[in-house]
Amino acid sequence: MELRELTLVTIITERLLRDEIIDRLKETGVSGYTLSDATGEGSRGIRASDWEGKNVKIEVIVNHSTAEKIIQQISDEYFENYAVVAYTQAVRVVRGEKYMS
Amino acid sequence: MELRELTLVTIITERLLRDEIIDRLKETGVSGYTLSDATGEGSRGIRASDWEGKNVKIEVIVNHSTAEKIIQQISDEYFENYAVVAYTQAVRVVRGEKYMS
Amino acid sequence: MELRELTLVTIITERLLRDEIIDRLKETGVSGYTLSDATGEGSRGIRASDWEGKNVKIEVIVNHSTAEKIIQQISDEYFENYAVVAYTQAVRVVRGEKYMS
Amino acid sequence: MESLISNFASPVVLAFTLGIAAKLLKSDLEIPKPLYQGLSIYLLLAIGLKGGVELSKTSLNAFIGPAFITLLLGVLTPLIAYAILRYLGRMDMINSSAIAAHYGSVSAVTFIAAISYVESLGYSPEGFMPTLVALLEVPGIIVALIIPQLSNSGNGSFKKALHEVVTGSSIILLLGGLIIGFVAGPVKFESVQPFFVSGFQGALVLFLLELGMVTARRLSDLKKVGVFLLGFGILVPILHGVLAIWLGLMVGLSVAGATVLAAMVSSGSYIAAPAAVRIALPKANPSYYLTASLGITFPFNITIGIPIYYLIATWMGV
Amino acid sequence: MESLISNFASPVVLAFTLGIAAKLLKSDLEIPKPLYQGLSIYLLLAIGLKGGVELSKTSLNAFIGPAFITLLLGVLTPLIAYAILRYLGRMDMINSSAIAAHYGSVSAVTFIAAISYVESLGYSPEGFMPTLVALLEVPGIIVALIIPQLSNSGNGSFKKALHEVVTGSSIILLLGGLIIGFVAGPVKFESVQPFFVSGFQGALVLFLLELGMVTARRLSDLKKVGVFLLGFGILVPILHGVLAIWLGLMVGLSVAGATVLAAMVSSGSYIAAPAAVRIALPKANPSYYLTASLGITFPFNITIGIPIYYLIATWMGV
Amino acid sequence: MESLISNFASPVVLAFTLGIAAKLLKSDLEIPKPLYQGLSIYLLLAIGLKGGVELSKTSLNAFIGPAFITLLLGVLTPLIAYAILRYLGRMDMINSSAIAAHYGSVSAVTFIAAISYVESLGYSPEGFMPTLVALLEVPGIIVALIIPQLSNSGNGSFKKALHEVVTGSSIILLLGGLIIGFVAGPVKFESVQPFFVSGFQGALVLFLLELGMVTARRLSDLKKVGVFLLGFGILVPILHGVLAIWLGLMVGLSVAGATVLAAMVSSGSYIAAPAAVRIALPKANPSYYLTASLGITFPFNITIGIPIYYLIATWMGV
Ligand SMILES: Nc1ncnc2c1ncn2[C@@H]1O[C@H](COP(=O)(O)O)[C@@H](O)[C@H]1O
Ligand SMILES: Nc1ncnc2c1ncn2[C@@H]1O[C@H](COP(=O)(O)O)[C@@H](O)[C@H]1O
Ligand SMILES: Nc1ncnc2c1ncn2[C@@H]1O[C@H](COP(=O)(O)O)[C@@H](O)[C@H]1O
Ligand code: NA
Ligand code: NA
Ligand code: NA
């Protein structure tokens, strides 16, 4: 089984931004994404989603250059005003060619 | 505190396969596993679990060779017909000897 | 966009310890943390939280030395008596300076 | 005509429409998954309980005829559906039997909607109808899944699928509820009556709100599945419904009972069947079977279908 | 005085206090998020349904006056709030309009508490009051969010915020419920009555238990926001309430109706408004607007405010 | 004998059996965790509320005797349990006090089942029984956890455990409900009656369905814990039950009241106690204490135990 080295981008953000960020990701051409619920605290203290009490964790497996693009976009659009944490990790993916969008 | 380098295998798949894959993992002799709920979109579009609306994320920490075995098995049995994403990462685990099954 | 190399510490443990471990993390001076629900099986078989049926996954991004401190503390205080799994991974974080507590 | 409009103005059908509208308007309304699952559990258990209590008051004689034709229809309808799909629609064997499995089974919500509908017209259908739902749930799925088995082209696990259907939550709750209701009887049932009977219609409103949203997500698939499946999803239920009315009246069901039986028989499961098909026939395309049963037949039945079955039953019942 | 104590002893207000106490005692009590969301959905839909049924019995004539002043108050109150915050409180434009948006909107729970309160005193307010909630929910938020738009300093997306408000779950459920109730009418509504009407007050108890816990978490922010906002959160609602009573009585509302209108108008939304503000004015500080509407005005209204509005309405209504 | 069969045929006990059956059949039925937590919150609050309302009608005189013996039993029963485990069962100190803590506390569901049982026989037990549950919940756990403290071998945090017990959700909801019910009184309680009283038995059915599934998972541990603990889990409850009946009748409880008290005293907590034990005695083996209280004593009590206590109470009460 060949594993392909790709990048896992994880974005933790306010529930409010979920649909918008997913739309952005789709525009970038990702082949898929995974969502899960999370809560947490960060530097911003309370915020609107404090009422909903939820963050959302978006995980997306992409090749290196798409990862860069996503990170760039997230930084530009959301970092100033919203609670967003984003990081990347190297992962070795089965059937990795699926994600080479 | 010595940390031991091990492999974290992450499998994201349809809720329907959960119990079966866990049984497989146990047969392979993993020392434990962690489950969490997730949703997502991938290359397959809708599927039966679309009704349940849920994927499941299975995470299991194992040594390198067991990771290979798991990946091989998952590929052989599920990749053709089911929505499955699987990837591995290197992790440094506390009390790593527990997971050297 | 410069990404900074940091450490992601993941702790999977009984729901019961959640608030206590978070308090410990805050004392160590982490800039934030992320919580999500999980279930699982490990070496301990059933335990009190079996009733609640839930583990909790705590993820925290810190610099290398804080990660060491957290791991050390968790090991000293909880490993003997409680169900705890802890591991670290290298991650590349956007706006990493935020997490250099 | 009036009976049709009356159905459209019921809170339950209106809630379904609201759900569709909410999704089309891209509202962020979401029924939390656990609430939705909780409502399913409640509704299925409540149907079972009520059925069991009624069954404990029914004579075996009145029940045996309807039970027999229900099983018969459970075997016939998937075969009819399969034949139409395979030979008229020229679909491959796998997808034909996957869809047939759905139409062999029964949609509990369609059943409930039919019961509510005839009750709103002042009828009270036979008390053992929920028992028939339980009888109808399993055989149709099995019959349809056996077909590819015969030519050895299932590629999934038939045995696992069988276990899934028989021990699936819908059967456990329906049958379990039936047994509990039957053993407890009317007197001991009284204490749980307010929860399981009085609250029922209201809970159904919330459930259909969600179902409307699920259906709306399916609507965009309508184009993909093509006009044949659209026709199939409307005409085959009518065919099955007429068959059910004819057989139902023959074994002595009331007009209301025959209407409800028609709704059951014509409906396609979207809980038990998809899970079983996914296991037994993983190569079948969910776009086909989910869109047909949930995107076409379900909305058709609960809006227009049920009043039509009622009209036909009245007409044939004379 | 008696009417005040009577309000404190209602199960609903006591449950709110229990929620606060539980958090202060650092209890591990937690209302699961899906349960809480489920309760919100239930309560909003129930208000809408009841309102729709009542509306179907109301003449347009009786409704037009109150509808007009509700819209008027929806435009006036955010402007008043803005002026006070900006010129008396010397707050910056962004935060002033963020807070004003909240006070232009309406808190559904405060509305429900007011209804329950006057009903417990033996009154029955006008049946179309829930319709007024739906009318009041949207314009106030929009008016307040337009202000920074004019000077081009919003920095967020006004259009997206507008969509969020109009298709937000509270509006969909309120308006959707209204339409369903109106179309179904009293007779067809009967079947869902036990679920949506009889169960209402009890569900509200659970909801306020959670709201008490949420409020308690907000209390620690009280120090941060300062004494001006504390005064604002109590005095402005009274001001808006008196305005609402005056206009309400003028267009022919009963004392009970005017009391409920006052509670609505004086209250600040903490569901629709925060989401809209977060989108349109991301730079506004949530500590200010959430603490004011949820930490100050909400507890003030449901404990002391509503009885005060009632006393004023009785006094002005003579 | 008849009263025993009658208990088995109650919907609540049947639902428990259905839950066990579902798990043994490896059904995929699952009660979503938030629903289950919501039901717990609802049931505990409802017990408290009803108890509070009843208490507001009770004279202090009638209450003081039962309250005293409840506290007495809260201290005695964990000591008895400890002595039997340590000296008859030769268990180590940690596990003995861990188990004793469970039997010193009370299982709310067993309490509810006992109330339902005697009510189904036509009795109405004293209104302050829920107050006694709240009194019994805490002291027994504390007494048992003090034992290892004395010889300094607890290894966990006694203080944290104490806080956990006193501010745990069960106590907050029970006591909070009691106070709300007491302050609100019968008249103001009426509005929430349909939700908290009429719906109660039905909600209990769903709850016991889940409890049956949890118990079934425990059954496989029965072998591990050995025959001594099996005997302990049945005989000690009977012993405690008889003690409770004897003292209960002595201070003037009715036969029904004594039966309910016996069920309470004999039962072992599986919500408050496990959490406290986990904190105070982390080295204790959960297989022992959970299997004993949840896998043995709980099913014994709700099926056979309660009717036995009733028979003994009738017999001793002559
Ligand atoms: N150091 C951290 N480690 C892990 N998660 C974090 C960290 N800081 C923030 N987060 C997560 O990111 C969300 C937004 O963070 P912030 O923008 O700092 O308020 C928080 O609610 C946490 O869930
Ligand atoms: N590129 C991706 N990144 C992250 N998760 C993915 C990706 N593609 C698929 N997934 C997840 O894997 C599930 C199955 O994917 P698929 O088999 O492609 O339909 C999806 O529902 C997603 O949760
Ligand atoms: N090998 C493993 N891989 C992934 N998660 C594990 C593993 N072992 C244990 N866990 C998780 O850690 C929790 C506690 O483990 P333990 O202390 O071994 O009982 C389990 O419930 C699992 O969620
Ligand atoms: Na069918
Ligand atoms: Na307002
Ligand atoms: Na006890």
Mind listing the pLDDT tens digit for each residue in B33-72?
Answer: 999 999 888 876 554 444 555 799 999 999 999 999 999 9
| Amino acid F1: pLDDT | 58
Q: What is the rounded CA–CA span in Å between residue E56 and residue D14?
A: 16
Q: What is the rounded CA–CA span in Å between residue E243 and residue E258?
A: 10
Percent of chain F's residues with pLDDT above 90: 64
Task: Give, in degrees to the nearest 5, the angle at Cα C10 between B27 and B63.
Answer: 35
Q: What is the rounded CA–CA span in Å between residue E226 and residue E242?
A: 25
Average pLDDT over residues F284-306: 92
pLDDT mean across residues, chain D: 91
Are the beta carbons of D271 and B50 separated by less than 8 Å?
Answer: no
Which stretch of DSSP H or E encloses residue D187? helix D169-189
pLDDT tens-digit readout, E74-85: 999 999 999 999
| Amino acid F308: pLDDT | 96
Chains that touch D (3 or more CB pairs under 8 A): B, E, F
Question: How confident is residue F226, by pLDDT bands cut at 50, 70 and 90?
Answer: confident
B49 lines ligand 2 (CB under 6 A): no
Evaluated on CA atoms A15, A20, A23, A25, the torsion sign reads negative
| Amino acid A41: pLDDT | 85
B30 CA: nearest ligand 3 atom: 1
| Amino acid E155: pLDDT | 67
pLDDT tens-digit readout, F298-317: 999 999 999 999 999 999 98
| Amino acid C49: pLDDT | 45
pTM of the model: 0.93
* Other C-beta atoms lying within 10 Å of the C-beta of residue B21: 25
Residue E183 is nearest to which of D14, D21, D199, comparing CB atoms?
D14
Q: Which of D232-246, F137-151, F299-313 has the lowest mean pLDDT?
A: F137-151
| Amino acid D249: pLDDT | 97
| Amino acid B52: pLDDT | 53
pLDDT mean across residues, chain B: 86
Q: Pocket of ligand 3, candidates B7, B11, B22, B34: which has the most ligand atoms within 8 Å of its Cβ, to mutate?
A: B34
| Amino acid D1: pLDDT | 58
| Amino acid A52: pLDDT | 53
| Amino acid A48: pLDDT | 44
pLDDT tens-digit readout, D148-179: 888 776 666 788 888 888 888 888 999 999 99
B44 lines ligand 2 (CB under 6 A): yes
| Amino acid E311: pLDDT | 96
Nearest Cα to A67, choosing from C92, B55, C7, B12?
A: C92
Are the beta carbons of E278 and A51 separated by less than 8 Å?
Answer: no
Q: Which of A14-28, B9-23, C31-45, D97-111 has the lowest mean pLDDT?
A: C31-45
Most confident of E283-287, F162-166, F265-269: F265-269
Nearest residue (CA) to ligand 2, atom 5? A33
Average pLDDT over residues F234-242: 98
In the structure encoding, which two tokens stand for residue D256, read together?
A: 């209301």
Nearest Cα to B31, choosing from B64, B62, B67?
A: B62
Q: What is the rounded CA–CA span in Å between residue A49 and residue A30?
A: 26
Pairing of strands B3-14, A55-62: unpaired
| Amino acid B93: pLDDT | 94
In the structure encoding, which two tokens stand for residue F250, read together?
A: 């002595």
Closest CA of chain F from D262, distance in Å? 28
Q: Pocket of ligand 1, candidates A58, A75, A85: which has the most ligand atoms within 8 Å of its Cβ, to mutate?
A: A85
Nearest Cα to D212, choosing from D113, D284, D308, D298?
A: D298
| Amino acid C51: pLDDT | 52
Are the beta carbons of E184 and D30 separated by less than 8 Å?
Answer: no
| Amino acid B95: pLDDT | 84
Question: How confident is residue A42, by pLDDT bands cut at 50, 70 and 90?
Answer: confident
Question: How confident is residue B82, by pLDDT bands cut at 50, 70 and 90?
Answer: confident
Q: Please determine, for residue C101, whether its predicted confidence score (pLDDT) is greater than 60.
A: no
Which stretch of DSSP H or E encloses residue D65? helix D60-83
pLDDT tens-digit readout, B86-98: 999 999 999 877 7
Check if the beta carbon of residue A60 is closer than 8 Å to that of residue A70.
yes
Average pLDDT over residues E110-124: 91
Q: Which residues of F touch C48 (CB under 8 A)?
A: 274-275, 277-278, 286, 290
| Amino acid A100: pLDDT | 65
B86 lines ligand 2 (CB under 6 A): no
Average pLDDT over residues F64-90: 96
Are the beta carbons of B51 and D33 separated by less than 8 Å?
Answer: no
Q: What is the rounded CA–CA span in Å between residue D244 and residue D279?
A: 29
Q: Which residues of D touch B54 (CB under 8 A)?
A: 33
SS3 annotation, chain E: CHHHHHHHCCHHHHHHHHHHHHHHCCCCCCCCHHHHHHHHHHHHHHHHHHHHHHHCCCCHHHHHHHHHHHHHHHHHHHHHHHHHHHHHCCCCHHHHHHHHHHHHCCCHHHHHHHHHHHHHCCCCCCCCHHHHHHHHHCHHHHHHHHHHHHCCCCCCCHHHHHHHHHHCHHHHHHHHHHHHHHHHHHHHHHHHHHHHHHCHHHHHHHHHHHHHHHHHHHHCCHHHHHHHHHHHHHHHHHHHHHHHHHHHHHCCCCHHHHHHHHHHHHCCCCCHHHHHHHHHCCCCCHHHHHHHHHHHHHHHHHHHHHHHHHHHHHHHCC
Asked whether C and D share 3 or more beta-carbon pairs under 8 angstroms, the answer is: no
Q: Provide the number of CB pairs (under 8 Å) joining chain A to chain C.
A: 59
Are the beta carbons of A48 and E287 separated by less than 8 Å?
Answer: no
Q: Please determine, for residue C83, whether its predicted confidence score (pLDDT) is greater than 60.
A: yes
Interface predicted TM-score (ipTM): 0.92
How much distance in Å is there from the Cα of C14 to the middle of ligand 3? 10
Q: What is the rounded CA–CA span in Å between residue E142 and residue F73?
A: 63
| Amino acid E154: pLDDT | 62
Q: Please determine, for residue A46, whether its predicted confidence score (pLDDT) is greater than 80.
A: no
- Give the best residue of E26, E40, E205 to mutate against chain F (max F CB count within 10 A): E205
How much distance in Å is there from the Cα of F264 to the middle of ligand 6? 6
Q: Which of D295-299, E244-248, E284-288, F308-312 has the lowest mean pLDDT?
A: E284-288
Residue C35 is nearest to which of A40, A86, A89, comparing CB atoms?
A40
Chains that touch A (3 or more CB pairs under 8 A): B, C, E
Average pLDDT over residues F5-16: 87
Integer CA distances (angstroms), D126 to C25, D60, D87, D107, D181, in order: 63, 13, 37, 19, 16
pLDDT tens-digit readout, C36-47: 999 888 876 554
Give, as one character, the DSSP assignment of residue B54.
-
Interface of B with C (CB under 8 A): 1, 3, 6, 8, 31-37, 61, 89-95, 98
Nearest residue (CA) to ligand 2, atom 16? B42
| Amino acid B101: pLDDT | 56
| Amino acid C48: pLDDT | 43
| Amino acid C52: pLDDT | 53
Average pLDDT over residues F141-165: 81
pLDDT tens-digit readout, A57-76: 999 999 999 999 999 999 99
A11 lines ligand 2 (CB under 6 A): no
How much distance in Å is there from the Cα of D97 to the middle of ligand 2? 28
C43 lines ligand 3 (CB under 6 A): yes
Average pLDDT over residues E190-209: 93
pLDDT mean across residues, chain E: 91
In the structure encoding, which two tokens stand for residue B7, read together?
A: 């492999």
How much distance in Å is there from the Cα of F57 to the middle of ligand 6? 27
Question: How confident is residue F229, by pLDDT bands cut at 50, 70 and 90?
Answer: very high
How much distance in Å is there from the Cα of E183 to the middle of ligand 5? 28
Q: Please determine, for residue C97, whether its predicted confidence score (pLDDT) is greater than 80.
A: no
Average pLDDT over residues E265-284: 88
| Amino acid E7: pLDDT | 77
Nearest residue (CA) to ligand 2, atom 15? B42
Q: CB distance from A46 to chain E under 8 Å?
A: yes
Q: What is the rounded CA–CA span in Å between residue F116 and residue E149?
A: 62
